[in-house]
Structure 1
Amino acid sequence: MPEAAERLAAVVTHLWGSAPPLRLRTWDGSEAGPADAPVLVIRSRRALHRLLWRPGELGLARAWVAGEIDIEGDLYQALDRLAGLVWGREEPPGPTGRGRSALRALGTLRDPATRRLLGDALALAGAALPPPPPPEEVPRRNGIRHTPARDRAAISHHYDVGNDFYALLLGPSMVYSCAYWQDGPDTGLDQAQHAKLDLVCRKLALRPGQRLLDVGCGWGSMVLHAAEHYGVQAVGVTLSEEQATYARKRVAAAGHTDLVEIRVQDYREIPDGPYDAISSIGMAEHVGSEQYLAYADRLHALLKPGGRLLNHQISRRPLRREEDYRLDDFIDRYVFPDGELAPVGSTVSLLEKAGFEVRDVEALREHYALTLRAWGAHLEAHWDEAVRLVGAGRARVWRLYMAASAVSFERNGIGVNQVLAVRPEPGGASGMPLSRGPWAAQ
């Protein structure tokens, strides 16, 4: 009788119509698949349980986080090869469909070959029910998304995992958004992050004495850069208590408590406009489609006439039918609960509906792939310390999330854009230059 790896390879080949893109090694030591490919190691039948009961992305994610599967070889290459098989389709192929278990599918299949192969896979998995999800998984939530309380809980899940872990991951810049690799991929991460912060400041045309609001300020890097280099009075808001504590210590150490204030505050609760400029860098992905116009309206109200907004946001590709959009299972359950991506065109339209005039859109997709690979290299170099700080499961979440995201940016699955908008003066004056020169010049 064929060994486990050969039997699983036969199932994949039949259901997907092509041989496995990775070499398979199963718990019995058997191997099948291309000899020159990275190896997908399936360490136990428990992993197969998860994959059969939740086919596709969520089953794979659960097995990965639990340490029941692993990759030997280049993780980025492995995910690139898997992309077309698992993430490259709007619906998983084969008879199980999205979220439909192999056991349920088996009872309705008429094709004898498919019934036989799925039955063989179920026999390999054994009779036991699938194990519970890893503890790092956020349970499915009920109720209204993006209420202030639910947003606080979602932000806490992702960001309140320890500042020491983020310092290991991000390096001295402590910037958790796409860097700007203006001098090419050999630029150091800290230099590229400095260049991104300065690009934002130039686009906002910051000047001494102005008031800047940074929505989703993270560990304070943007407000500190703006205060130190442009002399502004800066307010940074975050929903993360740990971020705020860290940012306040940085501000005090830099001697800028007279210029910078850090608040734990929802953007919907900011009372003290108007501001001369607003930056929102990597925060709007948490807002949600149903709240996005309210978000844009609030920022518009907080900005003085003639003031500028820089909205830096990850985007997704538009669908033929936008009503088919669904949250990414792995990201929603393990990384950013309730996070939503929108096409850049939708973002521009909603900003303009709120009263902004959009003046510039810059795509930085390749820049984010480079950034994620740099973060991934930090994680790999300090793996043992990362596991000590947050546990093996959560460290594996970050390793998969960053590598898979890098591949998605590289494959043009997702993008990231800086949208520069202005609240026009009464009568329509924008105060904008006639060209990009003021911020494009180095």
Structure 2
Amino acid sequence: MADAAPRLQGLFAQLLGAPLPVRIRAWDGSQAGPPGAPTLVVRNRRALRRLLWKPGELGLARAWVAGDLDIDGDLYTTLDLLAGHIWERDEDARTLAQALRDPEVRAAVRGLVKLAGTPLPPAPPREEARSPRRHLHTKRSDRRAISHHYDVGNDFYEIVLGPSMVYSCAYWPSPDSTLEQAQHDKLELVCRKLGLKPGQRLLDVGCGWGSMAIHAAREHGVSVVGVTLSQEQAAYARKRVADEGLTDKVEIRVQDYRDVRDGPYDAISSIGMAEHVGAERYLEYATGLHELLKPGGRLLNHQIARRPQRDETAYSVDAFIDSYVFPDGELQPVGATVAMLERAGFEVRDVESIREHYALTLRQWVARLEAGWQRAVQLASPGRARVWRLYMAASALAFERNRIGVNQVLAVRTSESGASGMPLRARTWN
């Protein structure tokens, strides 16, 4: 008798304290759940073993990446329905040990164990970062983490990012604008906030595939040093610089930001890089950039932020993101970022939240990935493509629901007399 799906619906309802808001289709062909709702496809018993051995988000992530779990229906709708059971559970939710004191929960776990079959734990998908993740942020560990995320293949990123090759939040004139226009406008916004002028020196920290460096040199006549820890990014960026005829204006280095010693610079851009720095190293990061600037020099720090927790000591890094996307990545509240920049000696002059812009950007990236799915799978792997699809879709919803934000913080190194060189009227920039 094919009855795995109704059994799973009942067991999950016992575990979660409420029925699942999606249908389930199990490996035996059975289905159960709300009619017309998106369907969670449980392809095999191994999916259950993954959940039993790693309860919570990591077990779900492993099952998704391995293809043991899938979704039949709109991905965003399904993730939105499941959010309350996965990403938005109350901070004070019971621990597993506390939950297992409940006889009903223990009975549900026994039911899942029986349904899962063999008790042996499945091996994690090969796309999972295997190195120890203690968030030490040494130069070696940061280099390894950056390689895991960015050295997936430039051709793969071309599918997702499009011709602009900008891997950070775009700045949309309107929701129906093109991704290329929105990324151009973001780069131009950064240049205007920095007040770039011909002949100045710009340091682009975490320069990626060179888009900011090329835009600043071509459109504003500055000399740029771009640094990245990714060999693949650097090779791609150097070719783009040469193709643009800008080798006399742009230098791309494979270099840790802590090793840059050739200041002073007139301006520094850090776009989507500071998430990799880590809370323990953030003051070192901010102080180092402050020292590299001339008096009157500006920093534009573009960074994703999480919401503050009622108990910051209880904050933990997202298991899926840490294992599959950004090993050692850490998000901080925007207030903590501003405080660290000020401790380093900066005067913070402007903070602009562009949260809704990142949701629009991510939805475009997901659409591009889905449109080029077969080629993406060939270039990376089925598991890697599934990682990016889930990560970007879930992140789009997180920005839309205000679980995370993204901010551009403009700061200046004032002179000894306190002069900032900033315009009198805010947001004219130059």
TM-score by structure 1 length?
0.94
Inter-partner Cα distance in structure 1 for 2:21 and 2:370: 24
Inter-partner Cα distance in structure 2 for 1:363 and 1:139: 35
Q: Which residue of 2 aligns with 1:47?
A: 47
Change (3 A) 1:95 1:204: closer
* TM-superposition CA deviations, 1:126-148 (whole Å, max 9, x none): 13312010011012506661000
Alignment partner for residue 405 of structure 1, among 385, 395, 402? Answer: 395
SS of equivalent to 1:298 = helix
Asked whether the 8 Å contact 1:307–1:423 carries over to 2, the reply is yes
Inter-partner Cα distance in structure 2 for 1:287 and 1:277: 20
Alignment partner for residue 139 of structure 1, among 110, 130, 136? Answer: 130
After alignment, is 9-18 or 334-343 more displaced? 9-18
Match for 1:46: what amino acid? R
After alignment, is 401-410 or 127-136 more displaced? 127-136
Match for 1:314: what amino acid? I
What is the deviation of 1:33?
A: 1.2
* TM-superposition CA deviations, 1:63-105 (whole Å, max 9, x none): 00000010011101111111111110255956736xx9xxxx7
What is the deviation of 1:13?
A: 1.6
What is the deviation of 1:368?
A: 0.4
Change (3 A) 1:54 1:96: same
Query: Any residues of structure 2 matched to 1:307-318 within 5 Å, and which?
Result: 307-318=297-308
Q: Which residue of 1 aligns with 2:84?
A: 84
Asked whether the 8 Å contact 2:228–2:255 carries over to 1, the reply is yes
SS of equivalent to 2:24 = strand
Change (3 A) 1:95 1:35: farther
After alignment, is 121-130 or 155-164 more displaced? 121-130
Structure 2: runs of 5+ lacking an equivalent: none
Query: Any residues of structure 2 matched to 1:49-198 within 5 Å, and which?
Result: 49-90=49-90, 96=96, 109=101, 111=103, 113-139=104-130, 141=132, 145-181=136-172, 183-198=173-188
Inter-partner Cα distance in structure 1 for 2:133 and 2:38: 39
Inter-partner Cα distance in structure 1 for 2:131 and 2:53: 17
Change (3 A) 1:80 1:352: same
Asked whether the 8 Å contact 1:362–1:419 carries over to 2, the reply is yes
Match for 1:50: what amino acid? R
RMSD: 1.7
Q: Which residue of 1 aligns with 2:385?
A: 395
How many residue pairs match? The answer is: 430
Change (3 A) 1:44 1:144: closer
What is the deviation of 1:168?
A: 1.0
Matched, 1:218 2:195: no
What is the deviation of 1:4?
A: 1.3
Asked whether the 8 Å contact 2:12–2:108 carries over to 1, the reply is no
Alignment partner for residue 297 of structure 1, among 265, 276, 287? Answer: 287
Matched, 1:244 2:234: yes
What is the deviation of 1:211?
A: 0.3
Asked whether the 8 Å contact 1:56–1:92 carries over to 2, the reply is no
Change (3 A) 1:372 1:92: farther
What is the deviation of 1:432?
A: 1.0
Match for 1:231: what amino acid? G
TM-score by structure 2 length?
0.97
What is the deviation of 1:122?
A: 1.1
After alignment, is 143-152 or 388-397 more displaced? 143-152
Q: Which residue of 2 aligns with 1:24?
A: 24
Inter-partner Cα distance in structure 2 for 1:240 and 1:370: 27
